[in-house]
Amino acid sequence: MIKEKISSQEIIDLVASKASVSKRAAEEFLKVMIASIEEGLLAGESVKIKSFGTFKLQWNEPRKSVNIQTREEILIVGYYKVVFVPDSTLKEQVNEPFAHLEPVELDSDPTKTELVEETDPITDPRRLFNEQAIEIKNLISEIQSLSKKTVPLIQEEVPVVELLNNEIKQIPDTKVENIEVESVNEIDEAKKDQENRIEENETDTEPATVTVANDSETIPEEKIEVPNLTAETINHANLKDDSTLKKDDKPVRPDFISNPNYISTPAGLVEEEGEENKEKTSENKEPQLISELASTPYLENIKPLKKHKIRKWVLLILFLTIGSGAGLFIYFAATGDNSVTNITQHLSISEIANTISEWITPAPKPTPKPVKVVIPKDTTVFATVKPVQPVDSVQLLFDNPRVYKEFIASERIQEGSRLTIMSKRYFKSKDFWVYIYEANKEKISNPDEIAIGTLIRIPKLDPRLIDTTNPRCLLKARELHDIYVN
């Protein structure tokens, strides 16, 4: 590349015209300047010129070399060399055509590690399950020791475990429902029919059990059910172990279906509907949930003793439905309906065995299985709820579409002009080029190739939007960058 070389004389002329001094004075000045620099260097100092650079001396060690023609070894003596280190301002000025470029990392490992972390619990659900099983065992033993104490009203701050303890003591019935609703959501459409059957069964048995406590009239109806149930439930009573749960499941279903007594009662239907509605509105609409729940006849049937626990139920239902939304629990769904069927078995057994009064304190055995399903869901609910960002004025600024009415400057595109360079000049960071682009969108078809001569207007931006010290501003700009570039 042949570059135009500017001689001392041309520099002198330029300086003379710019500083409006005579050429002689400029020439003299330049000579003196160089002489002074040399003087400084000869004194062994480094010479610094503001906004230009620093001249330094560097000692080059003597070294041996070979004469190419004669192959004689020669010694190159050590010498001093003047090194010029450009000042940062000069560096930036000179490098302006390439200022928009940034180093690019080609191997980005962080994403890989993230993926591994995500898949880990999924690939190893057995281990997770075992851990939870141990936890649950401990819980059960605690529950049994505390069974007849009254439980204070639960606040939202109450840890999950405690909440669950309370739930287990008082409301095994609702839990059955929740789980079943979830499992319906999660399981593939292919499985849906089966699930629905189970659901029907569940909803049937529950109102029955509730009414046992309240109305003496429904008792005969129940008694009809009981003999039908006994046959299967006794069979399954022998197979309570976790390991055999899955095997239990399949024989149960046909029995239930074939059973003529399992046609949904009105109470059951309403209840089911209520549950489904709750699911739909489960997205953080707690008050609505409560009202819906209260309106269902199901709750009216519940003893006054239980009424003050509605709040807790709602909380639990909320957690569970949100958890089901996450859609991660196809795995757990299988175990979920196992537990569901198991509970119904236990319920029916206890129907036969126990008197009405015993229903107030439910048997501890049915409780452990629902808990198993509940716990993983709750934990994930907490995980998913956390990353919600607080909405503040800056966020609003990001979310609202930007309107560009005021402009601080305008520039015509030239050879080598770039929006990033303009952004750097006007907004202190090249990341904010996206806003210039947004303001001139109608003139620019492709931000990478803007026609020369295009008049670009630089918009006036909210200083909060282009705060270079705020990482969120930069992040937002980069998000937009990704949108516009790709």
Q: 444: helix, coil or strand?
A: coil
Please provide the distance, in angstroms rounded to a whole number, between the alpha carbons at the two ends of the chain.
Answer: 35
The nearer residue to other proteins, 51 or 130, going by C-beta atoms, is 51
The nearer residue to other proteins, 227 or 416, going by C-beta atoms, is 416
Q: What DSSP element (H or E) covers 80?
A: strand 79-86
Would you tell me which residues interact with other proteins (CB under 8 A)? 3-8, 11, 14-15, 18-19, 21, 26, 28-30, 32-53, 55, 57, 59, 78-84, 86, 90-91, 93-98, 101-109
The nearer residue to other proteins, 32 or 383, going by C-beta atoms, is 32
* Least spacing, CB of residue 68 vs other proteins, in Å: 21
The nearer residue to other proteins, 38 or 462, going by C-beta atoms, is 38
Q: Which residue is associated with the tokens 């080059």?
A: 60
The nearer residue to other proteins, 60 or 284, going by C-beta atoms, is 60
Question: H helices within 259-353, ranges in order?
Answer: 266-280, 286-295, 297-301, 304-307, 310-326, 330-353
The nearer residue to other proteins, 51 or 395, going by C-beta atoms, is 51
* Least spacing, CB of residue 13 vs other proteins, in Å: 10
| Total Cβ atoms within 10 A of residue 248 | 19
* Least spacing, CB of residue 184 vs other proteins, in Å: 47
* Least spacing, CB of residue 420 vs other proteins, in Å: 12
* Least spacing, CB of residue 485 vs other proteins, in Å: 16
The nearer residue to other proteins, 84 or 407, going by C-beta atoms, is 84
CA distance 432 to 100: 12
* Least spacing, CB of residue 17 vs other proteins, in Å: 10
CA distance 57 to 465: 47
Q: 79: helix, coil or strand?
A: strand
Please give the full DSSP string across 126-144, using - where no structure is assigned: HHHHHHHHHHHHHHHHHHH
CA distance 449 to 447: 6
Output the six-digit token pair for 295.
């309106």
* Least spacing, CB of residue 114 vs other proteins, in Å: 16
CA distance 380 to 373: 12
